[in-house]
Structure 1
């Protein structure tokens, strides 16, 4: 027997045991790339749907606000009514009228415009107001140039009470300009002779 303890020769290799299996490592299979496409499509669909819902909500809110504004303006116009004047009792000089409501300026210049509206009834929901509106021509936009208010207790009983909204102002007017008096409710106005008047004269 050869003693290999003190020799420089390497020992022989140990033979493998036949009754013990040796583990073999295999690389893990990669997931097929096609399985991620449904998830990506779903996420893209969610994002697009969210954008569409946001745009639809913005359009709805915009249309609702515009509709409310238009309805508010329409109701505001409905609360005003033009005063209709008896032209047979009016003195007209360089002044014409349009549909018995609008006085039309024939000569440009500075005019003293006055209005006196007497109310014989009150309304707890609306103020008693007299408004003078101006427009440049028959199709021009109306603007308020004068307004006056008066107070009448509509709850009082017994003797009828009256209040008068009076106003006067100097206005520079051009040829073709038109003026008219407006109130909230004509049925509240006292239409007796001299109680309610409207006119102007050139300075």
Structure 2
């Protein structure tokens, strides 16, 4: 009987045992999950900071360019040098003005005041680089071209005289005045209703060349005919 369990093949060799003289390769440890998250957060923070700085710089430069585009160029003197006195003069000229509020005491003028000239309440008026003389006249400090305006409202009429408002000019307080502006208005004599007030306004405005020391005042025929309500009668000017 043949033994089928026997074979001529040799058994596989036994693997050699590791001795102390052989080195063992240990694989490097992978970075922990917490360390990876910290690195990603740092990179994202750097990118966001760079983005914010870029946007902020763009906004600042854009705003700075707009501000410079609105600034007027300063005046230039000889050899292209900047004349700062010219800039200061333009700034002063822009502030030279007068806005006057009529004083109700014009109804009974003082002895020092000229009869027929409106008086102004300088405590509630606005004066910049313009002086006043007594209560009736404005005195010019700086020569130049001025836009002068006047508005006089009349609440009463007179059958004998016209309702006229005049702006008079004199070179100084010792000189005789001359008319530089005048305006008229007319009350409707047909309106007899006591419920409806009878009013008319004489308005005028003109550019006048004025010298230092010149004086301007508003003259009317009868001070009792003027309406002294707030805003009804005004006078002023500003330098161009």
Q: TM-score range by the shorter chain?
A: 0.5 to 0.7
Tell me, which stretches of 5 or more residues in structure 1 are unaligned? 1-79
What is the Cα deviation at residue 161 of structure 1? 1.6
The two structures have a TM-score, normalised by structure 2, of 0.50
CA distance in 2, matches of 1:183, 1:154: 20
- The answer to whether 1:107 aligns with 2:142 is yes
The answer as to whether partners of 1:110 and 1:172 remain within 8 angstroms in 2 is yes
What is the Cα deviation at residue 141 of structure 1? 1.4
Identify the residue that residue 117 of structure 1 maps to in structure 2: 152
Identify the residue that residue 180 of structure 1 maps to in structure 2: 217
- The answer to whether 1:171 aligns with 2:180 is no
Identify the residue that residue 170 of structure 2 maps to in structure 1: 135
Alignment of 1:51-62 (within 5 A): none
Aligned CA-pair RMSD = 1.1
Alignment equivalent of 2:235, drawn from 192, 195, 198: 198
Identify the residue that residue 43 of structure 1 maps to in structure 2: none
Provide the aligned length of Structure 1 versus Structure 2. Answer: 124
Identify the residue that residue 56 of structure 1 maps to in structure 2: none
Alignment equivalent of 2:184, drawn from 128, 142, 149: 149
What is the Cα deviation at residue 154 of structure 1? 4.3
CA distance in 1, matches of 2:176, 2:153: 27
Specify the SS of the correspondent of 1:165: strand
CA distance in 2, matches of 1:201, 1:87: 16
CA distance in 2, matches of 1:177, 1:109: 11
Specify the SS of the correspondent of 2:126: coil
What is the Cα deviation at residue 153 of structure 1? 2.7
CA distance in 2, matches of 1:154, 1:107: 45
Specify the SS of the correspondent of 1:193: coil
The two structures have a TM-score, normalised by structure 1, of 0.59
CA distance in 1, matches of 2:141, 2:161: 35
What is the Cα deviation at residue 89 of structure 1? 1.3
Specify the SS of the correspondent of 2:148: strand
